[in-house]
Amino acid sequence: MSLLHKPNQSIFHGLVYGLMFFLLWEWLRPFPVFTDTGELHVFVWFMLVCFVVVFLQLGFVLSFVVVLFASVYGLHEIFYGGAFFSADGGLLTVQHLWGEVVHNVGLLMAWQLYEVTDPFRTFVMFLLLALVSYLLYYWLFYSRGIVVFVLATVVYVAVLDTFTNVEGDAAIVRIVVTSFLLLSLLHLVRVRGQVFNAQTMRKVPVTWVVLLIVVVVVSTSVGFAAPKYEPQWRDPVPVIEEALSGELFEMSDLSLSSPSNGGGAQQVGYSDDDSELGGGFSQNTRTVFHAETDQVGYWRGESKNIYTGRGWEADEALVDADHFDYPMFSDVVDATEHKASVTFTDEADFHLFFYPGQMVEVNEESLSYDIDDGLTPEFLTDALHGSVGLYEGSANVRLNEYEMTFQSPSFDQEMLREAPKDDPDEVTHYFTDLPSDLPGRVGDLAEEITEGTDNRYDQAKAIEAYFKEEDFSYETDDVPVPEKGQDYVDQFLFETRRGYCDNFSTSMVVLLRTLDVPARWVKGFTEGDPLAQLDDGVQRYEVSNDNAHSWVEVFFPEIGWVPFEPTIGYDNDVEFEADSEEVSLDIDLDNDENEEDRANEEDADLEEDLESSQEEDESEPSTSDGEDEKDEGIGAASWFNAQSLFASVIVMAFVVVAYRMRYRLIGLYFLVYYRRFGHDERFGQAYQRLLWMLECKGVHRYEGETLREYAERVDELFSKPSMRYLTEQYEKLCYGGCVDHLDWKRDQKLWEDLLKEASS
């Protein structure tokens, strides 16, 4: 036990230092994932050797020899192989290594860092590990502050987890456990160091350690098992990527995003060409339009009817129209009429109108658009696909602003279930076609999903629910493009099972069509982010490229086109009333009760009623907000975009720097000010400024200290007699009431020198 006579070498210290080893291990673990490092176990073993050597305090020479030997052995293991203790083993390695060192030092001198060879890099890495293990020992037992290292470890893992493929989940749990133990034990070391003598410190406080382990294990398990919130921020990576590259993309590119054959990432947005779907896309938060309405809903743009196996195309069916006579749904559907106004941003380029529910009318006075000189566009509707736009030959029409009236439907589930099945021939012709090479298993799957249903509504609902119940995942980045000859839907349903709205909606349409249910693929935007509550329940929404969306419409004879939402994490606002009679009954009951209440409390305070109604008013928007957030799938804050992040980072950095440099800046201001405006009569003021600056910089003048005493201290600090001199001048002014002796030109230099020294 002679070893244990050195300080910090008890078993207890070994325990603490061992925990440190595990913490450092966490730094090595992700190496193979984000670098081309292999043979990690060699590094870990080497680290262990270093820790033991440092802990035993073998003295510099012996430690150095052991570490050097260990690193040579490690290099041998990694690069050269074979038996180490043989003629062409270790010796050869040493020779090689020597050659490497000579070669690479030359490279380093020439600053050719890319040329540095792997063995040398590994050797440097070994040295670094050895250094770090000593540093940690010092941190642990001499500075006794390890929080910074623990925090750095957490940040390291978190950053890797966010920006690389490293999975940090388990690492974080391990780090938490290790750090808790480490910090507590270190604290114990500190406390015992204060209270007990060195002899008691050598013993491991078993009870204490056991208790600690129990507490840490229990709290960690509870934390691990407890339900947790989903991430409250969206993944910052796309935002940062966009911040770095976003300026390069123009809005017009989005509207015409070219099909990506090589699997390159597209940007999210509304695109005209859907003939080639698939592939990931990156986020784009640019605003497309602002809308003001009292009824939210998906903003429908157009639909497409021809599924090609790779994407969507549409039959041309434009008709000149004075009014929008294409029925989205017939009169049997309950619908309420609402108004909305839409204002596109400068970057948006659309000739289509976007509308929730069913368009009734566009207010022509409010209409504003851009078109080439001398041309007048006309309204053209496409009854087949339910779209309306402004057209003028091949000229480009660009909508700026419009107001419209629309109907927001509320479908009765029973009515949908009991809808007849005799579709008009036109509908059957256009909306049930499928490519002939569609794999049969898609149809089989549709049969399987809808088994036990006997009507269109339940079929559609079953398919809609299928995506949400099965192990499909919403994914925008890592979405593969179908290979040549592969069907887009088939790939999604049976292979990848991850994708975004296009995958889900197209698959649902195709699944429905295999059951001969007429369905079409609809494009538009989701309702957008609520910005501000305006008067009369009207809310302002911001619809951005992020909100570009596609969904499904299913045809019900005598009723019309009913929207469905298969995409995970999205929810359409279309109402499906469960049972109109029951609902109305409930309402009646409620009303009765209310009336009874009122009758009973005739002398109830009028103010109370007012208050309660106000409360109701206030609570409404908040609940709808909540719903909106849920609809988005993730609670993304609209202000958290690249610009605001960047701006705040810059502002924060500026503020921090300015704050850290405040005295220097103020000192600079004084210098400039008195160079410009300084004269004899301002000497007193200038001297006071100097006193203030000294005080700020920690040269404190005690309460009972006279200026002269203070000046002597200051002069001692700066080793020159300027303060004493200036103070004498000031004393004469302040206590002697004299002004004639003052000469700013003469004293300015001294004052400036002192001020510079004080403020730096």
Residue numbers of the site for another protein (CB under 8 A)? 681-685, 688, 691, 702-709, 731-741
Handedness of CA 170, 173, 179, 182 (dihedral sign): negative
Give 121 or 713: the residue with its C-beta nearer to another protein.
Answer: 713
As measured in angstroms, the least distance from the Cβ of 685 to another protein is: 6
Give 584 or 688: the residue with its C-beta nearer to another protein.
Answer: 688
Q: How far is CA 748 from CA 79, 360, 725, in A?
A: 69, 81, 12
What gap in Å lies between CA 751 and CA 313, rounded to an integer? 81
Give 648 or 706: the residue with its C-beta nearer to another protein.
Answer: 706
As measured in angstroms, the least distance from the Cβ of 710 to another protein is: 9
As measured in angstroms, the least distance from the Cβ of 204 to another protein is: 49
Give 332 or 738: the residue with its C-beta nearer to another protein.
Answer: 738
Q: How wide is the angle at C-alpha 206 spanned by C-alphas 201 and 207, nearest 5°?
A: 120
DSSP type of residue 495: I
User: Two tokens at 527?
Assistant: 């309702």
Q: Which amino acid is at 61?
A: V
Residue pair 433/531 in contact by the 8 Å Cβ criterion:
no
As measured in angstroms, the least distance from the Cβ of 682 to another protein is: 8
How far is CA 123 from its chain centroid? 38
As measured in angstroms, the least distance from the Cβ of 729 to another protein is: 12
As measured in angstroms, the least distance from the Cβ of 709 to another protein is: 7
As measured in angstroms, the least distance from the Cβ of 730 to another protein is: 8
As measured in angstroms, the least distance from the Cβ of 674 to another protein is: 14
CA dihedral 193, 199, 202, 206 (to 10 degrees): -90
Helix axes 744-759, 683-696, angle to 10 degrees: 10
Give the Cβ contact number of residue 700 at 10 Å.
Answer: 12
What is the pairing mode between strands 519-525 and 299-304? antiparallel
Q: Exposure of 646 by Cβ count < 10 A (0-12 exposed, 13-18 middle, 19+ buried)?
A: middle
Give 593 or 681: the residue with its C-beta nearer to another protein.
Answer: 681
Give 531 or 734: the residue with its C-beta nearer to another protein.
Answer: 734
Give 192 or 682: the residue with its C-beta nearer to another protein.
Answer: 682
Contacts of residue 558, Cβ cutoff 8 Å, sequence gap at least 6: 330, 332, 419, 420
Give 40 or 696: the residue with its C-beta nearer to another protein.
Answer: 696
As measured in angstroms, the least distance from the Cβ of 699 to another protein is: 14
As measured in angstroms, the least distance from the Cβ of 757 to another protein is: 20
Give 434 or 723: the residue with its C-beta nearer to another protein.
Answer: 723
Give 50 or 758: the residue with its C-beta nearer to another protein.
Answer: 758
Handedness of CA 438, 441, 445, 448 (dihedral sign): positive
Q: Which helix (H) or strand (E) holds 190?
A: helix 169-195
Strand partners, 387: 382
Give 231 or 736: the residue with its C-beta nearer to another protein.
Answer: 736
Give 544 or 727: the residue with its C-beta nearer to another protein.
Answer: 727
Where are the strands (E) in 425-504, listed by range? Answer: 473-474, 498-499
As measured in angstroms, the least distance from the Cβ of 663 to another protein is: 19
Indicate the SS3 state at residue 59: coil
What gap in Å lies between CA 287 and CA 275, rounded to an integer? 25
As measured in angstroms, the least distance from the Cβ of 732 to another protein is: 7
Give 161 or 731: the residue with its C-beta nearer to another protein.
Answer: 731
Give 59 or 737: the residue with its C-beta nearer to another protein.
Answer: 737
Give 224 or 669: the residue with its C-beta nearer to another protein.
Answer: 669
Q: Exposure of 489 by Cβ count < 10 A (0-12 exposed, 13-18 middle, 19+ buried)?
A: buried
What gap in Å lies between CA 292 and CA 62, rounded to an integer? 78
Please name which of 495, 477, 492 lies closest in space to residue 566, comparing C-alpha atoms: 492
Contacts of residue 702, Cβ cutoff 8 Å, sequence gap at least 6: none
As measured in angstroms, the least distance from the Cβ of 741 to another protein is: 8
Residue pair 554/562 in contact by the 8 Å Cβ criterion:
yes
In degrees and rounded to multiples of 5, residue 228 shows phi and psi of -125, 155
Strand partners, 382: 387
Indicate the SS3 state at residue 751: helix
As measured in angstroms, the least distance from the Cβ of 669 to another protein is: 18
Please name which of 640, 427, 470, 450 lies closest in space to residue 544, comparing C-alpha atoms: 640
Contacts of residue 519, Cβ cutoff 8 Å, sequence gap at least 6: 431, 460, 508, 509, 512, 513, 552, 553, 554, 555
How far is CA 723 from its chain centroid? 55
As measured in angstroms, the least distance from the Cβ of 688 to another protein is: 6
How far is CA 753 from its chain centroid? 50
How far is CA 641 from its chain centroid? 9
As measured in angstroms, the least distance from the Cβ of 671 to another protein is: 19
Give 457 or 683: the residue with its C-beta nearer to another protein.
Answer: 683
Indicate the SS3 state at residue 320: strand
Give 243 or 734: the residue with its C-beta nearer to another protein.
Answer: 734
As measured in angstroms, the least distance from the Cβ of 727 to another protein is: 10
In degrees and rounded to multiples of 5, residue 217 shows phi and psi of -65, -45
User: Two tokens at 610?
Assistant: 């007012």
Please name which of 312, 308, 332 lies closest in space to residue 520, comparing C-alpha atoms: 312
Q: Which residue has the tokens 């369905």?
A: 519
Please name which of 442, 459, 464, 564 lies closest in space to residue 514, comparing C-alpha atoms: 442
Give 98 or 735: the residue with its C-beta nearer to another protein.
Answer: 735
How far is CA 407 from its chain centroid? 36
As measured in angstroms, the least distance from the Cβ of 676 to another protein is: 18
User: Two tokens at 275?
Assistant: 């003939």
